[in-house]
Amino acid sequence: MSTTNITYTRQGNYLLPDLTLPEQKNLAIGVFGQRHKNYLLNHHKIRYYNLLASCKLAEYLSDIDNRANDMFASLVKQIAENENITEQLKAENPIFWIQSMNNIRNRATEIVNNEIIYT
């Protein structure tokens, strides 16, 4: 049986253990990662707290965010090519181009949300 040495700090009348978390990478988590975090908190609390307790939450959310951003970028590009939304159209009719690109971005966001974020 292994023996662990735990130190304590007195806080008023209580002795509290001196617990520290291991060093973690400082990872950037974007919009999609934050959405998935909120989804886990609201619908899969056990999974969220298991990742948090094992110090893997930031890495997991960063990976989700990267996958979602890659999927989003490729979807926007594919849909724009399929619908003939080009730079030439942007020069000729910028208002229509903006409307079309906003529509494409909204559809791509819905697909990413359904495929990666809310699963």
CA–CA gap between residue 105 and residue 31 (Å, rounded): 14
pLDDT, one tens digit per residue, over 44-54 is 999 999 999 89
H runs (alpha helix) in 17-112? 31-43, 45-53, 57-82, 87-92, 94-112
pLDDT band at 2 (very low <50, low <70, confident <90, very high): low
Radius of gyration in angstroms for the set of CA atoms belonging to the chain, rounded to a whole number:
23
pLDDT, one tens digit per residue, over 46-81 is 999 999 989 899 999 999 999 999 999 999 999 999
CA–CA gap between residue 70 and residue 63 (Å, rounded): 11
Residue ranges covered by each domain of the chain: 28-117
